[in-house]
A and B are shown apart, each in its own frame.
Chain A
Amino acid sequence: MENETEREAAPMKNSTTVERESEREIVVTRTFNGPAHVVFEAWTTPELLKRWWVPESLGMSWVSCEADVRTGGTYRFVFSHPAFEQPMAFFGRYIEVTPHSRIVWTSEESADGPTSTVTFEEKDGKTLLVLRELYSSKQALDDAIESGSSATSAAPEQFELLDELLVTLV
C-alpha cells in the first residue's frame, strides 16, 4: 500500500539504452517509475500516445493519429514538418496486443520495415520496457541504418573532413 503522507519523490531520470543485439535486431530498454498498466495505457491510448511519440526536438507535428490497439487492429500516424513537401505517413498492423505486458506490430510504410515487440515487465512498482525491432535480414537493417545515416545528418561532413586529414597526414 502506498503511504499517502509520503511526499512524492522527485521523478528520477532513467537512462535509455539502444543496442544492435544481432545482425537483424535493434533493442531499446528503459525503466519507468510506475506500474506496467500505466505505461501500457500511455502507449495504447491515442490521445496519450500523441503527447510523447513525437518529441518537440524533432520539429514535427501531428496531422492525424489513428491507433486501434488490439490484436488485428491497425495504426496510421501522419506528420508534417517544415522540410517535408507533403505530410509523411507511418502505418502498420498490431499482430498481438496482450494488455499490460506485450504489443507486437508491423511497420509497412517501407518495403523492408521491422516487426516491433514491446514488453512491459513490472517489478516493485517500476516497469522495465524492452522494445525489439526485428528486421527480415541483415541487409534490411544495414540499409535502414545507411539511409538514416546519410542525407541531412552532420556525420558525413565530419567523416569527409577526417578523410581529407588522413590523406594529408598519412
Chain B
Amino acid sequence: MSWTVLRQSLYWQRSRLIAVGLVALAWGALIPTFYVTFQDLFEGLIEGGFPENLLNFGSGSLFTLGGTMTIGFEHPIGIGLVAIFAVGAAANAVAGEREAGTLEVLLSRPLSRRRFYASVGASVKIEAAIVLALMLAGQTASIIALGVQDEIEVAWIPMVWVMGLLLWAAFAAFSLAASVSFDRRGPAMALSLAYLGVNYFLEILGTFLPDLDWTQEYSLFHHFNPGEIVTGNLDPVDILIFAVAIILPIIWALVVFPRRDLAAPA
C-alpha cells in the first residue's frame, strides 16, 4: 500500500464524494419516510387486487421497514450512488491512468504495480464505504425521527454497513480486475457495468416474473438483504459468497497486472 497514492486518489475524488455523500444521506432519509407515509396506501392496493409482487423490489418489500431499507439499497438510485465509486472510479483507476499516459510516470518510481493496485483499490473501497455509511446514517436518523425503530433491531444496523461494504467490495474488486486488464478505460468500464447489470437483472427478474425468482440466488445483490439483517437473520453463507467474489478478482489482478506489458500509450 502506498499512502501517497491513496491520499492523492482520495483527494481527487473529494468534491464528487461530498456531493454524492450528501445525496446518499438524503436518499437514505427518504426511505423510512416513504414506508411510513405510504404503508396504508400499499395495503389498500393489495386489498384492491393489485399484484403483491409488484410492490416488492428485488429482495425488498414495501410492507416492512426492513424490506423498505433493502429497497433503498437496491433501488437504481441507491446502486448508482455507490457504483460511481465502486464501479466507475474502480474501472477507471488503472485503465484510465494507462489511457492518459500518467501511469508510467508513477510506475517509474519505486512503486510496484501491486502496491499501486492495492492503493487505488483501498481508495475506491473507502469512498464506497463512506457513501454507504451516509446512506445508512440517513436511514437510521429518519427511522429514529419517525419513531419506528421498534420494528427493527437497531443494534444490527452496523452489520448492514459491513455487508453492504462486502457487496460493493466485490463489485469494486471485479472492476479493478477489469481495469488492470485493459489499456483503455472503455472496455474496462463496459465489462464492469455489464457485470453490475447482469447481477441487477438476475435480482429483479424474479420481481416481475415470480417463476424465475430462482435467478436471484445467482445475484450478488440477493446476498445483501438489510431487511433480514436488521431482524437478526444474517446468513453466514452470504459472507462466504462475498468473500469468494472479492478474492477471485483480487487474485486475477495480482497475477495479471505485474505480468502485463505496458507498452507506450498510443
Q: Do A and B come from one complex?
A: no
A: residues with CB less than 8 A from B are none
